[in-house]
Structures are given as C-alpha cells and as structure tokens.
Structure 1
C-alpha cells in the first residue's frame, strides 16, 4: 500500500536486523579508531613511507572531510615521496593524487577538502593540464549543475588559463564568451541554478567592457527577457530574482554630513553628524580666529560609543591649554572619510562655521537651540572660497555633471532613464503578484524596486510618502505569509518607518544623492507606537532635546550613545532587558523605562558605569530613571548592595524610582488638569539613590 507521498510503508525492522546493523557499525567504528591511532603514530614517529600513505588513503575513504588527514598526507608526500624526485617522477605522483581525488569526488562531490587537495597538486606540478581539468569539471557539472564547489573550481581553472595566455586578450575574451554561453546552457536546463546566474553576472561585466553603448543596451534587454522567462516559470525560486536585482543595480546615496554643533565650551567640544557609519582616515581640519588670524585648533576626534574608531557621530575635544576665538571652522575633505559600507564616499569638501561666543555652558544652557546643527552654516567649500587645497596640497577640481545608474551596466546623465527602467520592471512584478499573490519573492523584489524609485524623488514629495507607505505594507504582508523570517521583515519595516517619520529632521540637498539637517530646529520628536524594533540611524537625533519612543518593540539602548543633547528620553513599553550607551549621553536628565523586561539590577547598573562627575546631566549632574513595571522592581525584596560594581562610577547622583500603575495614572491626571507635579510631594512605590558605596532603598513618600 502506497503512502500519501507515493512511497511504500516499510515494516519495522526486526530485532535481529537491528542487532546486525549495530554490530556492523561497531566493527566500522573500531576499524576507524584503529586507523586514527595509526595516524597518530605516523605523526609522532614522522614516518614518510608507503605504509603511512596507505593509512591516510584508508582514513580519507572513510572520512574525506577530516581536514587534518589531508594535511598529514601532504606532509608525507612533500617530505617523503617528493623530496628528491625529479619533474617526471613528481608529475606521476601528482597525477596519481589527482586520480585518487577524482575517484573520491564521484562519491562526495561537495567536499571542500578534496577540491582543495586537487588545487594543491596542480599548483605544484611543473606542467599542469588545465584544459583537462576544465573538461573534468564540466563532466561533474553535467551530473550536478548546481554544485557550487564545481562552479568555484571552474572559475579557478579559467583564471589559470587566462594567466597562462598572459597578454593574449583575444583568447581571454573568447574564453569569457565561451563561459558566458556555458551559463546560458545551464540556466536553460534549470532556472534554479544560482551558481550559473552568479557566474553569468561576473562574465557579463567583463564582456560589457568591450561593447559599444548600443550593444550594452541590447544585451541588457536580452538579459531582462531571460530573467522574465525564469521568474514566470518559477516565481518562488530566488536565483533569477537575485540576478534581476544585480541587473537593475542600486544607486547608492553618497555620504552626507548632516551638520555640526558645539556641545561644550570648557573644554570646547564639537560634534559632526553623518548619515552613516564612517571611519576617519585624516583628522578633520579645525581652525579658529585669534586676533583676526586663522590658526589651527589642536585637539582629538573620536566617535561616540565603545569603538571610538568608527561611528556616525564624531566629537572633537580641544587639547588642554588650546585657545579658541568666537568662531570655529571645520573643513572635511573627501579623502578624510572612509565609509564602512562599501561603495559609498563623500562627494565633495564640506565646511562648517560655528559660533562659540566663549561662554560657559551654564550661561547659555537654556539657549542651546541657537547653536544646534540646523542653524549652522553648511555649504560646499568650492562655492565659498573657490578651489580648496586638500591635505596633499593638490587643488580640488570642480565636479562634472553627475551620471545616474540605469542598470548595473549602463549610466545616463538623465535621471528619467533610471526612473523609466524601474517603473517598467515594477509593472512586470506587479503583474506577477496578481497571478501569485502569496508568493514572497515577487513581494520582496517589488519592495526593493519601490525603494530604488524612492531615491529618485524629493524626500518631501507626496510621491515619496506613497512609496514609503506601500513598502511598509509589503513588509507587513511578508510577515503574514512568511512568519519564519518575521524578524527580518520587522527590521526592514522599521527602517522604512524610521525614514518616513524622520523627514521633518532633514531636507533635500541641492544634490539629489545628499541630505542634511533641516534649517528649522525641531527640539522634540514623537516616535511612539510606530512598531520600531531598533533605531537605524541615531545620528539624526543628535540635536534633539526630547525623544519619545514609547510603545515600540525596541530591544537595545545602544543608540543612546549618539543622543548628545537629549534631556528627556521616553522608552516605556518596549522590550529592553539591559541598559547600554547611557555613559555617552551627557545631557540626559530624565529617562523612563517603565514596563520593559529589565530583570536584574546589574542590567540597570551596566548603563551608568563609567559616568564621571560633571558628565551626568547638563544642569547639575543628576538623572531621574523610572523603572516601574519591570521585573527588577516587581520582584524587589531584601537588601541589595552593589559596592564593588559602583567603585568606578563616582558621586553621580542617579535616582531610580518606580510606582504602581494607579499612581502613575493619578499623576497623569493631575498633570492633565494643569497641576504642577514637578515640585512638592511625588508618590512613589520605591526609590533608589545611587552612590559610590551602595544602592539604598526607601519606600513610600519621596519629598
């Protein structure tokens, strides 16, 4: 009787059969262990004879992925059989090894170590037969066209043949064309062949280098036709979709310098914010005017966070004893900045001119808004003082007319060409989604294409909002039809929501691929109830005073390290288990973490370790933290002392409070009625005053 899967149900094996199998496995295991002991004896005794080689042969036939045995075998060959062999003898030995490997590859064609051993043999032969190797790997790909080991080995062989031909470019191009046609054959046999599609992309890029513009355009159209045939044949297979994304290409935004601001005067500290994580290859030039003369200002640049060598927010701190005047100028050249993300760069030199006024922070703390990033002057240096000499003394050239990516192989001076291609391919994918509405790959590709189209329009336009909303809806649909990858889609949705909700903080640059902070200063931002799982680019918040992230799904507080001016931070009703990054938030005065998942006091303490006196809060070194409805306070009980944990903190005055939901609602009602609850008596369920030596607990009324 056949099962639902067309397979006969097998009868349970009898005890006798099971016993025979177990005995056989036991014999094989004993043989293997004996061989392994023999191998150890070979290593210890340094034998390099036929017996030693025979033992490695037996072991490798039983366990070809035991990489140590391959290493021992090569040592036996090099120090024994090959040590004094002439070329003819050596080639015979290597050919024998090739035959041994080929015999075993038929049984296990996806063993990394056998393919590596084959390469080792060829690279040590005096006259390797690369053409024979190409024929051999072609046969393996006939047996399994999706064996990526075989494809990788094939690329290796082609590279060796190209090196052998040297400057014979005609032969090299002919071979590229032949390999391109080989991928066509394999893709035609089976569209679900990622290795063939990948190889095709590398080969097509080489062929395009010798094509005219018309030939490239015709080739691209042929490739789109091939992809369309593949995705309509099997829309669930990812191979062709990934090739289409490569074919369409991405027009990356350039690195943008969002703005700069003074955040401290004694010592002088200046912050520069980027729209992505960068490394600094050359320290940005900082100069000041003393007696109407521009002089360099000595100091050090470092990124916020635990790794000061990279980040999206960079702080300059003047060197001890350095003097500065009423204005500071920061000059950033393209060569100064290196993006962590591949392919991104700063397009031109940028200059900031900041007022310092040489006042103490306490005198102007209430007027910080006048010094925020959006109010500072930011402009292309070439427009300000003409061509600028770079760090190497050379003159920076004027930019030429920008070109826009149309596909991975074509560029155009007209952005509309890119738009037309994207809109055409979007229409193709939409058509397929109508046929297969619950197929995840077309939905993912549509989201990606819409995001690319989004880059071609003004970030403040109505069309941008429509595209953002549709992309978010697509992620929500993916969550419902592919729950196994829910977190990936939630993170992508978070990025899209974040981009949409933070538009008020930035503005379109004069150049389409750059952004900067908006001219109008926005001190407060409400991102509550947005479903955010993380904060994708916290440098956008560097100039905020209040940030409301209530009722999201945020798990980490590391983004706080970039909130240099934030005084009030609301993180209640999230999924936070541990505090991190607070030691880099010098302005923080109020933090609510009510209704999170913090279960241990150590996880509260972790956020404040390494704070120093004077770096905690702008107005007197005090921060209030609310922890109501967290396990750490719900399970409160008994004496809890953290003497050793707090030895490095210093007297920083951290007050931690929690209260019942009823009391919190009562306070909210009083506040809504216009009563001032910031002074007088505040009713709390419990409070801790953190000091150097202990964490003290007091329940009831806090005056």
Structure 2
C-alpha cells in the first residue's frame, strides 16, 4: 500500500522498538543539552582555544541550523586563531580547514542556509580564494541533487565573484555566461521540473541578449518557446516550465493613472485627487495660486483617506487656516511624487490640473458642497491640462511616449500587432493543451494570464474586451472547482475581473495609453449584488456614487468605505463582515445596511464609529442610520435591550442603530396597522407596552459637546 507521496507505508513500531528508540532519543537530547551548557560557559568565559572550537564542532554536527553556534565559531576562529596568524598562508590553512569541515557536513545536510553562509565567509576572508575549485565543488552537489536551490544560489554567487575578477575581460564574462547557459539546458533535459535551472536560464538569457542583434534575439526566443513546449507537453502539471514561459512572454506593465481631481469645498479649499491604485506620496503634490500673474505656493496639507494618511488611492488637500487663494489654483503632480505599492508601476509623466475661481459663484457652490443633499453630486470637477509642465528644477517635463511595444521579455517592436500575434499564437497552443488536459490547473491559469495580457492591447470598452473578461471569469470558476485548496486566491482574482467588467461605465480609455481616467458622465447608482465579490479591488472607482448595492456577496471588510466620499446609501447585507471600519471617513453616508453578517462583538460595532465625530459628517450635522439585524452580536451580548443600554451609555453623534432586522420590523408594523383596523391579528396578541425589539438607539463615540 502506498501513501499519497508514492512511498510505502511503514509498519507500526512494536512496543519494544518504540521504547528503544525513545531511550536513544533521550540520550541524544541529554548530550545535546550538555554541549549547549558547555557552549554557554565558553561564551561567558571568553574562551578562544581548541577546546572551545571542538565544542562548536560537536554541536554543529548535531544541529547545523543552529546559527548562533556558527556565530560563536566565527568569533572563536577570528579572535583565537586568525588574529594571531603570522601570515596569509597560515590564515588560509585555517580557512581551508573550515571549508573542508563545511563540505563534510553539507553531504549530510546540503540544504542548510548557515553552512553555505559560513562557506562564503571563509572565501571572502581568504587572501586568494579558489573560485574555480568552488565551482567544481558545487557542480558535484548539483549532480547529487539538481534541484537544490541552495546549490544554485551558491553557483550564481561564485559566477558573480569570477565575473568581478574578470570585469575588464568582457569576452571572458560572456563566455562564462554561455557556459552556464549550456549547463542549465543539461539539467533541464535531465528533469523538466527543475525550477532553479529554469530561473538561472532566465537570468543568463537576459545577459546574453544584451549584445545580440534583433534577428539573433528573435531566433533564440523562438528556440526557447520550442524548449518550453516540449517540457509542457511532457508534464503539464509541473509549474516550472509554465513560469518560464510567462517570463519569456513578459508582461505589459500598466502605468499609475490619475483618475481625476475634484473640489469638495471652497471655504476652506479642499481638493480630492483619485488614483487607480494605492500609492505612497514621495513628495507633496504642488498646489499654487496665481495672484497678479505670479505663482504663489498655497499652504496646506495632503492626506490619504483612512487611518493611514500616508498611503491610499484617494488623497485630499486641505487648505491651511488663514491661507488665501487667487482666481486660479493649479495642482501639479510630477512622476517622482508618487510611488506605487505594486512593483513596476509608476506615473509616466507630470499631470497638471487648473481650477478657475474668478467666474464662479463660490458662495453658492460651497453651500451646495457643504450640505448633504440627496441626489446631487457634491464634487466640483477640476480641469486637466495636458502638455509640458515645468519641473521643480525649471526644466520642462514632457508627456511620456511609447515608441515601441513589448513583444516578449527580450524583444520590442514599433507595431502593437507583433505583440498581439505572439499572444494569440500562445493562447491557441495553450487552448489545445486545456482540451487534452481539462482538469489540469496550470494550463488554465496560464490561459487566463495570456488572455489578460491580450486584453491590455484592446480598448477596454470593446466587444473583444468583454469576451475576454467573460472567459477569464469562467476560467477562475473552473479553477475553484478543480483546485479547492487555493480557492481564496481564485475567488479574489475572479472578484477583480468581475469588478473590472461591472465598472466599465465609470472609466474611459485615456489618449495616453495605457492609462485610464474617469469618464465624463459618472453613474450615481451601482448594483453589484450577488456577484460573488470577496472585496472591492479599486474603491477609488466608486468616488462619485450615491448608492451602492453589495447585497449577497462574500465581502469581509468595510474598509473600502473610507474612499466613498459621495456615497449616501450602501447595502452590505448578507456578506461575511465581522467588524466595522472605514465608516468614519465616509462624510456623506446616510444609510448603511449590514444585516445578516458575522459581527459578533460589541467592540467590533463600536470600532466603526470611534472617530465619527472628527469627520465631515459631524461638522455638517449629518445623520446615518445603520441596520445590524440578524448579526451574532445581538445574541452574544445579551439581546437587544442590553445593547440598547450600552449605546445610550456612549452618547449621541447622529448614528442611529437598528438591531432588529428591517424585514421583521416592517412585518411587525404591518401587523400593528392590521391590529388598529381589526383589534386582533390571528392568534397573536400584541402588547401595547414599549417593545425593545423595535427600539432605535443613538450613539456617540466620545464627541466633546
């Protein structure tokens, strides 16, 4: 009988054998603890002799991953032996002895970080290390285990040292790179599942391609695709070749996009800038006002919405008290002002926004912006100016241009058609494999990735984009079925795809490919109910919404609400939310439904409103109603009456909490209305006294009056 790893099950140990093994283990533990105590004595006594070194040797043979012992050993060697060495030859003998000691132990444990690290220390400390000898040594280890990534990492380290030694001899460096490249193909042919060999091949190919002509690069890329296909068809379940193919194809990195800028208040001036992803501000965005044709910096502060004001996708500029501005305000965001959380993404060029205030009725606009008026957009759009922008150093920063398009990770072309042709060719090949292996997850994952890359080459509002989105969603749903262990990953990816598809009306293709921005006409209502969403991927997309329906999804957090500056009504019933957060940063919120979620503790309710009084809602005298019926907190905390009293103890700040479900409340109101007409309702008798279940309470999070 075999286990799931293909190994035979061992027979259960007899009581006698088990007792013998336990006794041996007890002796080993006792010896190890004794050596450990001896080591402690050595450290405390500062002994630096042969006896101290022998103790570390014995300990490391028993536990080579105990890195503290390696540190102690190096201290003993340095202070007790190497500092007293009369010449380099004597020191090198000591280091050579250490190399032999490490090599002997590596045979027993070739995947110990600390032994490989100690070996590097020896070589880097020697006056004349034999790097060529090290290369031969690690080659033997890779013959024993070709997939030992420690050995591959050490081999790359040795090659770097040899290249540094020969940095003036470029031909020698390239010859060595070609030799290593050939070595990887040997190991790959021995075992296609050698990810370390594939990875090493990618680093070497990039170096070799630097001095190749376009024709030579295209030829070697075609050869690599043939190699990958051979590996994939041999074992489609193995990820190594698939990952190499993804590297070979490359990814078209999308730039950071500024979706738009808006004024939400003129007295004082408050400006909102929205990005399509989370960014960190490296330098404050430039805000200046023109008075008598002279640009004057406008005093104020930029903050991201939410509790972490240094990181976010929605940023707000708040004018400093007492600062004044003229008829024109200009906001300039330079490419170096922001850095993305997502690696490889950046703002391609400076963007300038202009706000003309001279011909505006600011009192009327500010009054509208300051009031929470249902059905009106409280945001005043700022005009974007496209063109060269004067940088901080006085030079003009021009718009980014894209003269060439990526075809593969190693090739470029002036025509986007070349990239499309490559993607369509690879998509066709992967489709064939999906048909042959319909339950193999890797071809499906790669197909989804390739389709996503193809989508970047077409208009996001095109029919082709919609077809691609629909197929990618279906592929994620299939992956959830055949690979349930990674269900959450596929659900999150599916959520991103569904969200992109359902929010197309909110964004438009930008003329500066591949960026995006808000469309000219923004919807005020969005229904995303029953879409299987696990989160809101880009909440800055929803900045203009008044009503958002997220009923019956799998959303676990309300944090996205912090970016919904204009939203009035949000339905989050029938989700998986366990605690409230972000609501104190939603200044226009008036109605929030959280029925049938998983909120179980009183503290998880309070957390959502702790800073409510500091927000704009309190300043404008707004009021929000929150429905929390059918959450475990009602039962866990002792029922509705207990919760009501706890809310009353907190105070008042315009937050109305309804514990009973809205559906039940409406049904009871209907019954009461029927009772008024008939005096009785079937077999049910309604008490005329105050009913706790229908009580609505108010809450204040410590706001000073």
User: Normalization by structure 2: what TM-score?
Assistant: 0.91
Secondary structure at the counterpart of residue 163 of structure 2: helix
C-alpha distance in structure 1 between counterparts of 2:176 and 2:611, whole Å? 62
By how many angstroms is 1:8 displaced?
A: 7.3
1:627 matched residue in structure 2: 628
In structure 2, how many angstroms separate the alpha carbons of the residues matched to 1:613 and 1:236? 55
Q: Structure 2 matches for 1:135-534, cutoff 5 A? A: 135-290=136-291, 294-325=295-326, 327-354=328-355, 357-359=361-363, 361-364=366-369, 365=371, 366=373, 369=376, 372=379, 375-380=381-386, 382=387, 387-397=388-398, 399-534=400-535
Question: Shift in Å at residue 23 of structure 1?
Answer: 1.8
Give the secondary structure class of the aligned counterpart of 2:147: coil
State the partner residue of 1:47. 47
Looking at structure 1, the residues matched to 254 and 305 of structure 2 have their Cα atoms a distance apart, in angstroms, of 23
| Contact preservation (8 Å) 1:567, 1:587 | yes
Deviation at 1:548, TM superposition (A): 1.3
| SS, match of residue 275 in structure 1 | strand
Offset, 1:264: 2.4
Q: Indicate the residue corresponding to 1:658 in structure 2.
A: 659
Once residues 554 and 451 of structure 1 are traced to their aligned partners in structure 2, the CA distance between those partners, rounded to angstroms, is: 24
SS at match of 2:159: helix
Deviates more, 1:284-293 or 1:526-535: 284-293
Partner of 1:17: 17
Q: 1:15 to 1:659 in 2, by over 3 A?
A: closer
Deviations 1:423-482 (CA, angstroms, capped at 9, x unpaired): 000001000011100000000000000001011111111111000000000000000000
Name the residue aligned to 1:112: 113
1:583 maps to 584
1:13-39 CA-to-partner distances (Å, cap 9, x unmatched) read: 433332222222221111111111111
Q: What is the distance in 2 between the residues matched to 1:29 and 1:306? A: 50
CA distance in 2 between counterparts of 1:13 and 1:547 reads 63
Deviation of 1:629 after TM superposition, in Å, equals 1.0
8 A contact 1:579–1:606 mirrored in 2: yes
Distance 1:4 1:81, change over 3 A: closer
Number of aligned pairs?
Answer: 674
Contact kept, 8 Å, 1:643 with 1:692, in 2: the verdict is no
- Structure 1, 192-201 or 622-631: larger mean CA deviation: 622-631
Q: Is the 8 A contact 1:261 1:371 kept in 2?
A: no
- CA deviations on 1:313-338 (whole Å, 9 max, x unpaired) are 11000011012345533222222222
Q: Distance in 2 between matches of 1:466 and 1:372?
A: 34
Determine the C-alpha separation between the residues in 2 that align with 1:135 and 1:128.
14
CA distance in 2, matches of 1:44, 1:645: 59
| 2:690 equivalent to 1:686 | no
Aligned equivalents of 2:515 and 2:351: distance in 1? 12
C-alpha distance in 1 between matches for 2:114 and 2:262? 56
C-alpha distance in structure 2 between counterparts of 1:391 and 1:584, whole Å: 33
* Contact residue 598 and residue 604 of structure 1 kept, 8 A: yes
> Is 257-266 or 215-224 further displaced after alignment?
257-266
Query: Could you tell me whether the CA contact under 8 Å between 1:660 and 1:685 is conserved in 2?
Result: no
Deviation of 1:298 (Å): 1.4
SS of match in other structure, 1:277: strand
CA RMSD of aligned residues (A): 2.6
CA deviation profile, 1:647-692 (whole Å, cap 9, x unmatched): xxx852211013346435649999xxxxxxxxxx999633221136
* Deviating more after overlay: 11-20 vs 200-209: 11-20
Match of 1:673 in 2: none
Q: Offset of 1:369 from its aligned partner?
A: 4.9
In 2, Cα distance between equivalents of 1:20 and 1:542: 70
Cα deviation for residue 616 of structure 1 reads: 1.9
Asked if structure 1 preserves the Cα contact closer than 8 Å seen for 2:298 and 2:324, the reply is yes
Cα 1:557–1:11, aligned 2, differ >3 Å: closer, same or farther?
Answer: closer
Matched, 1:594 2:595: yes
CA change 1:666–1:74 in 2 (3 A) is same
Shifted more, 627-636 versus 505-514: the winner is 627-636
1 CA distance for matches of 2:46 and 2:375?
Answer: 75
CA 1:100/1:7 → structure 2, altered by over 3 Å: closer, same or farther?
A: closer
Deviates more, 1:270-279 or 1:463-472: 270-279
* Structure-2 change in CA distance of 1:52 and 1:534 (3 Å): same
- Check 1:620–1:89 CA distance in 2 against 1; reply closer, same or farther (3 A cut): same
On the 8 A contact 2:613/2:701 being kept in 1, the answer is no
Distance in 2 (CA, whole Å) between partners of 1:453 and 1:19 is: 64
2:288 counterpart SS class: strand
Q: Any stretches of 5+ residues in structure 2 without a counterpart?
A: 672-689
Report the alpha carbon displacement of residue 235 of structure 1 after superposing the two structures with TM: 0.3
Q: Give the Cα–Cα distance (whole angstroms) in 2 for the partners of residues 188 and 298 of structure 1.
A: 65
Do the aligned residues in 2 keep the contact of 1:267 with 1:317 (CA within 8 Å)? yes
Q: What's the offset of the Cα at 1:399? A: 4.4
TM-score normalised according to structure 1 size: 0.91
CA distance in 2, matches of 1:399, 1:262: 27
Q: Which runs of 5+ in 1 are unaligned?
A: 671-680, 695-703
Partner of 2:680: none
Deviation, structure 1 residue 252: 1.2
Q: Is the 8 A contact 1:663 1:684 kept in 2?
A: no
CA distance 1:208–1:589, change in 2 (3 Å): same
The farther-off stretch of 332-341 and 537-546 is 332-341
8 Å contact 1:587–1:617 — kept in the other structure? no
Q: CA deviation at 1:288?
A: 3.2
In the TM superposition, residue 379 of structure 1 has moved relative to its aligned partner by 3.9
CA contact (8 A) 1:551 1:574 kept: yes
Question: Are the aligned partners of 2:146 and 2:187 in contact in 1 as well (CA < 8 Å)?
Answer: yes
Deviation at 1:487, TM superposition (A): 0.4
Confirm or deny: 8 A CA contact 1:589 1:617 kept in the other structure: no
CA distance in 2, matches of 1:363, 1:13: 81
**Could you tell me how far 1:346 is from its partner in structure 2?**
1.5
